[in-house]
Structure 1
Amino acid sequence: MSIDPSSIPNFGAQPNPQPSGPAGPVVPDQDLVKQLLDQMELKYVVDDEGDLAAPWEDFRTYFMFRGEGDQQVFSVRTFYDRPHAIDEKGRLLEAVDDWNRRTLWPKVYSHTQDDGTVRLIGEAQMLIGTGVSLEHFVSSTVSWVRASVEFDRWLVEELGLEKDLESSDDEGDDED
């Protein structure tokens, strides 16, 4: 099974072409995801657990397969690296709840680490064990990646984090 390169939606304003491939359902695998990421021109690595990860500057998106047989699940999970203080958790959760109400994916939740910092994780899943159409798999995966990127942009704007980023850049400049 292969994906026609012209079928991969890009991140620009052009319409999304439709993938061509098998007429019936397919059970996606890691090789298919690698092919899709290559065609989307996204860099990726395989971690120690064998999962694919596409790194961005402030987050990492993992493409994971879990379960067996007809219960196998494909999950796209994004770990946002920006730490948030525990005393900001209420405000952060309000923003995340707003995102989750207004969007289909990724569904975002918080994780408080042992050191008290709060980080966010976004996730979308698809049951694939009985097979899915190649078109559905490709369009869903591309949409999930786009939405993961968009969430990070939205959160920065929603919480005014660009000011924090700019001031930390300015502080670093003063030390030089």
Structure 2
Amino acid sequence: MSNRSGLWLLRMLGGMPKPTKRADDEPPRIVTRDRVADYLLGRGYRFVIDDDGDLTGTWDGSRFWFLLLGEHQEIVQVRGRWHRTMPLEQRRAVTLALNDWNRDRIWPKAYVREEEGQLALYSEVSSDLEVGATDQQLAQLIACGLGTGVQMFSALDSVLPQDDAGDPDVPDN
């Protein structure tokens, strides 16, 4: 038996010290709107609290919301809405573009909704954090939602015809 393969037995019998806890091994904590806001502020991002109490801001011209959903607000969702809308006649092209995105990538989920006679395109990254999250886990989820959403909207700009431009009311980050 090699020295390395016997280490587990020594540890089990009390012959070796237990591994020490690292500083980055923080326990998960309940996710709150304040924790999400603290992350955004720490990154220097500008955002507002809308009439529904949700955190929202614009990144590269597109609106993003940071939502806490579920019975106990345990689901964290980063939802983006593309700064452009498309005419209803473009539904086929929009659907094909979003299907291509969803087929080739895990994040974000992409979908289209009809709003006020136009097509609105959305991105979503959601995670059930019922047991809480460390600061690092929460940061990774928010960064994933924002980063992949901005990336998707940028890709859409290059494949869908230019028809309409949005007018966001919060300055870009």
Q: Could you state the TM-score of these two structures normalised by the residue count of structure 2?
A: 0.74
The aligned residue for residue 13 of structure 1 is none
Q: How far did residue 40 of structure 1 move?
A: 1.7
1:36-72 Cα offsets, whole Å, 9 max, x none, are: 1112221100000100001245321000112234x72
Indicate the SS of the match to 2:143.
helix
Q: How far did residue 160 of structure 1 move?
A: 4.8
Q: Please list, as runs of the form range in 1=range in 2, the aligned pairs for 1:108-147 lying within 5 A after superposition.
A: 108-113=110-115, 115-147=116-148
Matched, 1:87 2:89: yes
Q: Please list, as runs of the form range in 1=range in 2, the aligned pairs for 1:1-176 lying within 5 A after superposition.
A: 23-56=26-59, 58-69=61-72, 72-113=74-115, 115-161=116-162
Question: Mean Cα displacement is larger for which, 100-109 or 129-138?
Answer: 129-138
- Structure 2: how far apart are the matches of 1:57 and 1:104? 21
Indicate the SS of the match to 1:83.
strand
Distance 1:146 1:57, change over 3 A: closer
- Structure 2: how far apart are the matches of 1:32 and 1:130? 15
Q: Where does structure 1 lack aligned partners over 5 or more consecutive residues?
A: 1-19, 166-176
Identity of aligned residues (%): 25
Of Structure 1 and Structure 2, which has the larger fraction of its residues in helix?
1
Q: How far did residue 106 of structure 1 move?
A: 1.3
Bigger RCO (CA 8 Å, 6+ sep)? 2
Q: Could you state the TM-score of these two structures normalised by the residue count of structure 1?
A: 0.73
Q: Where does structure 2 lack aligned partners over 5 or more consecutive residues?
A: 1-22, 165-173
Distance 1:21 1:64, change over 3 A: farther
Q: Is the 8 A contact 2:31 2:74 kept in 1?
A: no
CA RMSD of aligned residues (A): 2.1
Structure 1 outlier segments of 4+, above 6 Å: none
Q: How far did residue 92 of structure 1 move?
A: 0.5
- Which has the higher Rg, Structure 1 or Structure 2? 2
Indicate the SS of the match to 1:31.
helix
